[in-house]
Amino acid sequence: MNTLLIPLLVAIPLGGAFFIPLVSRKVRVLADIIGNLATLSVLVIAVLLFQVRTVYSIGGWNASVGITWVLDGFSNLMLVIICLISFVATLFSSQYMERYTAKYKFYSLFLLMVAGMNGVVMTGDMFNLFVFLEIASVASYALVAFGGNHEELEAAFKYLVLASIGSTLVLFGIAFIYGATGYLNMASISQAIRTGPRTPILTLAVVFFTVGFGIKAALVPFHPWLPDAHPSAPAPISAMLSGVLIKALGIYALTRVLFNVIGITPIYGAVLITIGALSMVVGVFLAVGQWDFKRLLAYHSISQMGYVVLGIGLGGYILASGGKQSAAMLAILGGIFHLANHSVFKSLLFLVSGSIEYSTGTRQLKEMGGLLEKMPLTRATCTIASLSIAGVPPFNGFWSKLIIIMAAFQGGYPWLAALTILVSFVTLLSFIKVLRYAFLGHLPESLKAVRESPALMSIALVVLAIFCTCMGLLLIPGAREMILDPAVGALANGVGYAQAVLALR
């Protein structure tokens, strides 16, 4: 039964995407229905499969001959996150996207993006990873340009050029790996690398993967596309891009390849820590000066991705250099938990910005003000999300940051902990600014007629706000063993991945 459900995770969004253009040119509402149903059913399947750990051979070809899907703790967690955010985003967009024409193209591209991300997260094959990476990327280029104005086109072109360079580098890296080992299956590659000598070609491949996936994840030296592309997209797409796309295509793929396929070494760990710390600091200081709401959020995405990479990289460094095992596990736990938290609160923030833009028609903080009375629900959800991202207790962002800081202390890097606290403080300042200018102050004359956003959009906001408030509960013992620890274990297992996959088969 379960094995029958696995292919549907990719087949349903693909089928939906192919089917929507066929039927919904005549009956417009079908696009909404099919889009929402597809994401809902995928979410249900992802939740049903959450406890399943298996290897699925596509076409019945075993192991290295065909393509395999590997479901382990990390993949399952990512799948649930992706499907949850995409369901909420489709719910939001059925009313929001009335602003644009050609809604069916939007839904079709959206489902293609979901299919691509699910494929990336599930696959156990390097080249298949590249193909699905490209599906998600191509769909996202088009979605960034969906508005068709000057800014959107410019941002989309910038994004397309940088991200295509990234994809080409990834493909070149895969070619190196194939030339060195003769396999494409991740588990087989990992085994071949472990038994064979570590040649310079592998180092070159790692450099290419780091740059390629780093561009997709917008880590700091490679970030210039993100602050343009994410604000230019329609709000639900911004939520998807910031919430899950950069994580699935960038961070998930990078960590999977570095930890499980090639094997983490102290040098790679140190590189990850450096990139993470740099993203954290540069992102937040660039964000403080912004007055465009969505652009500010986009810079914060860079900074928060820095936390995730810092946590995971710290864990990898400690593991590889033979430090304290418990500190390493804690650091990786912090990174992965922050990844999950960030996808929830950052999507919520982007949806809030969309909701404000839908009602008021502006994104500039200076033109807003006094929306407290007019849009109480938006204001409440925005406050929750802002407190989460700034790391104020009881909300989810606090717990994951706390874990990263604790791990840095335990591992013996107090200056990293201090840096994290500093960045967290600047984030708080920046969001106090948002709340102050958007919701307090006096209402400008032009915004007297503003009303709360429509029902479906509000439902989407509330769902995510509930998640923001409650996700701290994932840390209580029972839930943590069930949900977060398998994901940490999958990464910390390192090149033991190969045996784990072979045992599951």
| Nearer of residues 295 and 401 to another protein, judged by Cβ | 295
Residues 295-334 that bind another protein (CB under 8 A): none
177 versus 404: smaller Cβ distance to another protein: 177
- The yes or no reply on residue 155 touching another protein (CB under 8 A) is yes
- The conformation of residue 363, written as its DSSP 8-state character, comes to -
Residues 55-74 that bind another protein (CB under 8 A): 56-61, 64-67
Q: How far is the CB of 184 from another protein (least distance, A)?
A: 7
Residue number, 50 or 157, with CB nearest to another protein:
157
Q: Which of 208, 338, 196 is nearest to 280 (CA)?
A: 338
Query: For residue 231, with 0-12 CB atoms within 10 Å meaning exposed, 13-18 middle and 19 or more buried, which class applies?
Result: buried
φ, ψ of residue 118 to 5 degrees: the values are -60, -40
Rank residues 130 and 398 by Cβ distance to another protein and give the closer one. 130
Burial per residue of 284-302, b for 16 or more beta-carbon CB atoms within 10 angstroms, e otherwise: bebbeebebbbbbbbbbbb
Q: How many Å apart are CA 50 and CA 381, to the nearest integer?
A: 28
> Is there a contact between 162 and 224 (Cβ–Cβ < 8 Å)?
yes
Residues 12-31 that bind another protein (CB under 8 A): 14-15, 17-19, 21-22, 25
Q: What residues have CB less than 8 Å from 50, skipping those under 6 apart?
A: 76, 80, 483
When asked if residue 426 is in the footprint of another protein (CB under 8 A), the reply is: no
Q: Please tell me whether residue 71 adopts helix, strand or coil conformation.
A: strand
Applying CB under 8 A, among 36, 76, 94, 128 the residue interacting with another protein is 128
Q: Which stretch binds another protein (CB under 8 A): 3-11, 86-94, 296-304, 478-486?
A: 3-11
**Residues 170, 175, 177, 226, Cα dihedral to 10°:** 0
Binders in 194-213 for another protein, by CB under 8 A: 199-201, 203-204, 207
From the CB of 377, what's the least distance to another protein, in Å? 23
In the complex, the smallest distance separating the C-beta of residue 480 from another protein, rounded to whole angstroms, is 33
475 is an interface residue for another protein by CB under 8 A: no
Query: Can you give the C-alpha Rg of the chain in angstroms?
Result: 22
Alpha helices in 6-28 (DSSP H): 8-23
The CB-of-222 to another protein minimum distance in angstroms stands at 12
- SS3 call for 364: strand
79/319 with CB nearer another protein = 79
Q: Binding to another protein by residue 373, rule CB under 8 A?
A: no
413: left (phi over 0), alpha (psi -120 to 50) or beta: beta
In the DSSP assignment, the letter for residue 375 is -
> Interface with another protein includes 285 (CB under 8 A)?
no
Confirm or reject binding of residue 366 to another protein (CB under 8 A). no
**Binds another protein by CB under 8 A, chosen from 77, 78, 139, 390:** 139
DSSP-derived secondary structure letter, 441: S
The reply to whether 132 sits near another protein by the rule CB under 8 A is yes
Using the rule CB under 8 A, is 112 a contact of another protein?
yes
Residues 165-194 that bind another protein (CB under 8 A): 165, 167-168, 171-172, 175-176, 178-185, 192
Please report, as residue ranges, which positions from 220 to 239 form the binding site for another protein (by CB under 8 A).
224, 228, 232
Contacts of 465 (CB under 8 A, 6+ apart): 348, 380, 381, 384, 385
d(CA 94, CA 33): 9
**Rule CB under 8 A: is residue 356 a binding residue for another protein?**
no
Interface with another protein, residue 376, by CB under 8 A? no
Number of residues forming the site for another protein (CB under 8 A)? 89
Q: Which residues have a Cβ under 8 Å from the Cβ of 412 and sit 6 or more positions away?
A: 323, 327
Output the CA–CA distances (angstroms, integers) from residue 443 to 362, 373, 389, 438, in the order listed.
14, 9, 26, 10
The stretch near another protein (CB under 8 A) out of 113-121, 213-221, 386-394, 477-485 is 113-121
Q: Which of 146, 345, 413, 431 binds another protein (CB under 8 A)?
A: 146
**Does residue number 100 form part of the binding site for another protein (CB under 8 A)?**
yes
Judged by CB under 8 A, the residue of 2, 44, 51, 149 near another protein is: 149
Can the peptide bond before residue 394 be classed as cis, meaning omega within 30 degrees of 0? yes
Q: Judged by CB under 8 A, does residue 384 bind another protein?
A: no
Q: Which of 109, 220, 257, 272 binds another protein (CB under 8 A)?
A: 109
Q: Give residues with Cβ within 8 angstroms of 354, minimum separation 6.
A: 92, 96, 234, 235, 236, 238, 239, 457
CB atoms within 10 A of CB 23: 12
Q: Which stretch binds another protein (CB under 8 A): 53-61, 317-325, 341-349, 461-469?
A: 53-61
Burial class for 351, CB neighbours closer than 10 Å (0-12, 13-18, 19+): buried
Residue 134 interacts with another protein (CB under 8 A)? Answer: yes
101 is a contact residue toward another protein (CB under 8 A): yes
Find where tokens 């992102």 sit: 283
- Cβ 207 to another protein shortest distance, Å: 8
Q: Name the minimum Å distance from CB 424 to another protein.
A: 26
User: Minimal distance in Å, beta carbon 282 to another protein?
Assistant: 13
40 binds another protein (CB under 8 A): no
